[in-house]
Structure 1
Amino acid sequence: MRVLKGALLFLVVCILGGCWDRMEINDLAFVTGTALDVQEDGSLFCTLQIAIPGSKEGSGGGGKGDSGSFYLISAKGNNGNEIHQALQKKSSRQLFYSHRSVVFISERLARQGINKALLDVFTHDPRNRLKTYMMIVKGGDARQILELNYPLKQVPLEVVNEMQRTGDEVAVTLRDFFIANQSEGIQPVVGVLELGDHLTDKKEQIFKAEGTGILKDLKLIGLLDEKETLSLMWLMNNLKYGRISTPLPEDQGKIGIMLNHTTSKIVTHADKNAVRFNVMLEGTGTVEENNSSLDVSDSAQMAMIKQAVENSVRKQVEQLLLKLQKKYKADSVGFGQEVYKSNPGKWKTLKKEWDAQFQNASITVDVDLTVNGAGMVHSTLQHE
């Protein structure tokens, strides 16, 4: 009985005493964004954007020491632990990364290789949030993104909101990147941002999405533009929405289509010495702009529009595949992964030489679209 009473008393003391190792919110510095650059001597330069306690979200930027909703601290080093230690010494509060939205990586660092910047720093430390997005900053330094005096909210939050809203931009989290990097038969891709055109005027400082970064062996080897990014996302079955502008044959004008539903399927055909692929793209879209003499309410003319759009999409996708195969030599879509899934035995024989096999693989593309023409205006205003 005495033992039981003693145990109960100890339990009561522990409960009333609270958690001895808890961290008070007033002792934390909430990191909202990270920028990684590389110095001339090859060392890493890391910049953190930290929310100012009690500031109103969207009250303005605080880059370069300006008053606002955040402030920046920076440090350089040769590895993650060294940088984190230097950053922590610059903060009177414990750095807390669970609210971080985006990790920005400069194009220069990405082209040199991001393995030392990411794999060790972000995989072994449990304080890092794997749902954090990662983006490559085209040209300039990544820290310039965090320094922007953006007129709305903090830049990292706006980047995430933009990627989640549009549905036609590559949105890759740390978790997505690590899975792709460790998976069979696919190379990871990363979204790309670029600084705006008015960096000298603080009231007009902006950023814009600028396509996709193609990586191979954890090094950036090329960039895709917006049209190529749309094709890539469609191939990977990740496209939610998209806009296509299609020229009609015989100089009849152009048609603008808004895609609101797309699917992709890759069928693998294994031969003795190689593999062939058939890509089947399907989608549903609506005519949003008709700069031609065609009447979208006429079924025969809508059939012409449908065929023209399908041919345009097929040509655009084939050009992207040719670029991936011959120029970048990177299987960013995951054709090798399809071989691995459908025929693991065949993949074992192809895995070591997949780079060469992918460059010469036969890939055919079929497109089947459902195009709706009904809208506020059934045909062009110029139609008579």
Structure 2
Amino acid sequence: MKKKYFISFLIVSMLLGGCSNYKELNQVSIVVAMGVDYLPKEKKYHVITQIFNPSAIATATQSGSQGVPVIALDEKGKTITEAVRNVSKKGSRQNIYSHVALVIIGETLAKEKSLNYIFDVFERDSKIRVNIPVIIARNKSVDEIMNNIAALDKISAKSIVGKIKNTSALLGENQETLMREAISAISSSGREPVINGVSLKNESEASQTLENANKVNSSYDMINGTGIFRDGKLVGWLDGPPAKSIQIIDNLINEMNVEIPCNKKDYDSMELSRVKSKTEIKMKNNIPIINIKINSIGHIDEVLCNANFDKAKTLNKYEKTAENVVKQSIETGISEVKKLGGDAFGFGEKLYMVNPKIYKKYEGNWNVTFKKAKVTVSVDVQINNVGMRRKPYPY
């Protein structure tokens, strides 16, 4: 009986005691996005915290008018941690970082400091998740990118994340990079991370105000290029169709379009889906020999050259042309990345998977070895759909 009473007493005590770290909502600030940059002249890190503004929701509910959805607080420090703690001097509530939806890195920081040290603080601190997207502010300051009030999604973090997902699903030049994926690439000696860039377009004095959201031609954040790294530092950008080469080789393409030249000035358009690639790699005379085979299904989705798809020779012509366009795009992408010197494709990882003993010989200097690689690309496209119209227009 005494044992039962003792157990009952413990349960009641736990229920009445509550949580020691419990805080009221009006005592905390929810951080929805973080920006980190480096100031070379001051040799300090610049941290921007974007905080959700609950009073804006309350104001909109009560009066129908809308306030600014987020508040930005920034500070500097010799370390990222010091800068974050310095922010406390400007905020009346304790910041909660468990809801951070996006981390934006300044281009200066990405070029001058290794990502190893940038992500160290995020990985060590259990209060911050590492399964969140990371992106680089390209040609603009982190502050300008973060605090633009967009027309559709007034919280910029939500807007940028939505754009990454949207363009990766439809265009294929970019793929969402989570912080844990970037950390994994940094930890691998056979792969360098790739991180998307974001720029600000149509910037004006109203960009960081609600006035911007009420303009037809407002300023907006735009996903802009893929950042290429070598030894953890940003060394350049891959833009346009060649950037698709990374997604294709890593089998990350959902769908993409290919512009098919049909005469001296016009193009037709083909959608490619089920894009699958297979990479074979071996070493010969200290040179990586890489063979890439790509298979895809094609769908004609726009014709400006009045082709007749009732004819088999027309389909064969378009398949061959699409294969050449994709092949050229991949070869250009690989060539540009080789010049920058960082293995963004993970060829080193692929060699390790098939022959770890051989890879160990080149592990310490793989990026240099990768620049010598001889790459062969073969593409097979099979058209299985030409849309609702098969015969050309009568002109």
TM-score by length of 1: 0.91
Q: For 1:283-294, list aligned pairs within 5 A.
A: 283-294=296-307
Matched, 1:337 2:366: no
Say whether the 8 Å CA contact 2:301–2:386 is kept in structure 1.
Answer: no
Residue number in structure 2 paired with 1:219: 233
Q: For 1:338-353, list aligned pairs within 5 A.
A: 338-353=350-365
C-alpha distance in structure 2 between counterparts of 1:73 and 1:374, whole Å: 53
Q: Deviations over 1:172-196 (max 9, x none)?
A: 0111111111123111110111111
Residue number in structure 1 paired with 2:81: 81
Residue number in structure 1 paired with 2:151: 151
Q: Which moved more, 1:114-123 or 1:34-43?
A: 114-123
Say whether the 8 Å CA contact 1:170–1:229 is kept in structure 2.
Answer: no
Say whether the 8 Å CA contact 1:297–1:374 is kept in structure 2.
Answer: no
1:372/1:24 CA distance change after superposition, 3 Å:
same
Matched, 1:258 2:252: no
Q: CA deviation at 1:37?
A: 2.1
1:231/1:272 CA distance change after superposition, 3 Å:
closer
Say whether the 8 Å CA contact 2:189–2:364 is kept in structure 1.
Answer: no
Residue number in structure 2 paired with 1:63: none
Matched position secondary structure for 1:251: coil
Matched, 1:378 2:390: yes
Equivalent AA in structure 1 for residue 186 of structure 2 = N
Q: CA deviation at 1:271?
A: 3.3
C-alpha distance in structure 2 between counterparts of 1:4 and 1:105, whole Å: 57
C-alpha distance in structure 1 between counterparts of 2:26 and 2:189, whole Å: 45
Q: For 1:156-195, list aligned pairs within 5 A.
A: 156-166=157-167, 167=169, 168=172, 169-195=174-200
Q: Deviations over 1:262-293 (max 9, x none)?
A: 11110123435333110111222311111213
1:72/1:188 CA distance change after superposition, 3 Å:
same
Stretches of structure 2 that go unaligned for 5 or more consecutive residues are 61-65, 207-211
Q: For 1:294-373, list aligned pairs within 5 A.
A: 294-325=307-338, 327-373=339-385
Residue number in structure 2 paired with 1:91: 91
Say whether the 8 Å CA contact 1:318–1:365 is kept in structure 2.
Answer: yes
Q: 2:220 aligns with which of 200, 203, 206?
A: 206
Say whether the 8 Å CA contact 2:193–2:228 is kept in structure 1.
Answer: yes
C-alpha distance in structure 1 between counterparts of 2:188 and 2:91, whole Å: 38
Q: For 1:121-136, list aligned pairs within 5 A.
A: 121-136=121-136
Q: CA deviation at 1:379?
A: 4.4
C-alpha distance in structure 2 between counterparts of 1:242 and 1:138, whole Å: 24
RMSD: 2.2
C-alpha distance in structure 1 between counterparts of 2:382 and 2:158, whole Å: 36
Q: CA deviation at 1:138?
A: 0.9
1:273/1:150 CA distance change after superposition, 3 Å:
closer
Equivalent AA in structure 1 for residue 255 of structure 2 = Y
C-alpha distance in structure 1 between counterparts of 2:183 and 2:245, whole Å: 23
Say whether the 8 Å CA contact 2:185–2:193 is kept in structure 1.
Answer: yes
Matched position secondary structure for 2:54: coil
Equivalent AA in structure 2 for residue 156 of structure 1 = A
Q: Which moved more, 1:211-220 or 1:191-200?
A: 191-200
Q: CA deviation at 1:103?
A: 0.8
Q: 2:294 aligns with which of 281, 290, 300?
A: 281
Q: Deviations over 1:124-167 (max 9, x none)?
A: 11111112111111112011112212112211101112222332
Residue number in structure 2 paired with 1:24: 24
Residue number in structure 1 paired with 2:50: 49
C-alpha distance in structure 2 between counterparts of 1:343 and 1:148, whole Å: 49
Say whether the 8 Å CA contact 2:38–2:108 is kept in structure 1.
Answer: yes
C-alpha distance in structure 2 between counterparts of 1:55 and 1:180, whole Å: 40
Q: CA deviation at 1:351?
A: 1.4
Equivalent AA in structure 1 for residue 345 of structure 2 = V
Say whether the 8 Å CA contact 1:188–1:215 is kept in structure 2.
Answer: yes
Residue number in structure 2 paired with 1:100: 100
Say whether the 8 Å CA contact 2:116–2:186 is kept in structure 1.
Answer: no
Matched position secondary structure for 1:297: coil
Residue number in structure 2 paired with 1:62: none
1:107/1:297 CA distance change after superposition, 3 Å:
farther
Q: Deviations over 1:281-328 (max 9, x none)?
A: 122231111121321232210110010010011011111111112x20
Say whether the 8 Å CA contact 1:257–1:286 is kept in structure 2.
Answer: yes
Say whether the 8 Å CA contact 2:190–2:348 is kept in structure 1.
Answer: yes
C-alpha distance in structure 2 between counterparts of 1:116 and 1:314, whole Å: 34
Identity across matched positions, percent: 24
Q: CA deviation at 1:214?
A: 0.3
Residue number in structure 1 paired with 2:260: 246
Q: CA deviation at 1:87?
A: 1.3
TM-score by length of 2: 0.88
C-alpha distance in structure 2 between counterparts of 1:240 and 1:156, whole Å: 23
Instruction: Work out the number of aligned pairs and report it.
Output: 374
Say whether the 8 Å CA contact 1:295–1:378 is kept in structure 2.
Answer: yes
Matched, 1:36 2:36: yes
